[in-house]
Amino acid sequence: MTLWNAYEANEVAADEVYKNRTLLVTGAVSSIDKDFTGDIIVELTGGNMFMGLRAHLEDSEKSKAASLAKGTKVRLQCTGAGKIVGSPVLNDCTFKS
């Protein structure tokens, strides 16, 4: 929620703090999908019921993503990628215990 709220308040300021930096994020899974290129995306619940935080996983995390269920709490290490189409985006994500 901290990342989501920062981007909702001021995208420019949030980019200064989070974009292109390594982040450790914790949240509840709202969906597990693939994009048009086949990359795995785990969406975490955000401050808006229609849009969450989009985490693009590394290919090495496929088996872990396959075992997820909606509502599962996860901890990810990612690179901040800014805000795209209203949602904060994270790239190069891996699961952390």
**pLDDT score at 1:** 80
Q: List the structure tokens of 88.
A: 């904060």
Asked whether the predicted pLDDT for residue 12 surpasses 90, the reply is: yes
Q: Summarize the confidence of residues 3-17 as an average pLDDT.
A: 94
The H or E element spanning position 71 is: none
Q: CATH code at 50?
A: 2.40.50.140
**pLDDT score at 23:** 96
Output the pTM of the full model.
Answer: 0.89
Half-sphere exposure of 1 (CA within 13 A, CB side): 4
Q: How far, CA to CA in Å, does 5 sit from each of 9, 34, 82, 92?
A: 6, 25, 13, 22
**pLDDT score at 10:** 95
Q: Domain tally for the chain?
A: 1
Q: In this predicted model, what pLDDT tens digit does every residue of 25-71 receive, in sequence order? A: 999 999 999 999 999 999 998 666 667 899 999 999 999 999 999 99
Residue 17: give the domain boundaries: 2-95
CA–CA distance, 5 with 86 (Å, rounded to integer): 12
Residue (of 63, 91, 59) closest to 77 by Cα position: 91
**pLDDT score at 96:** 96
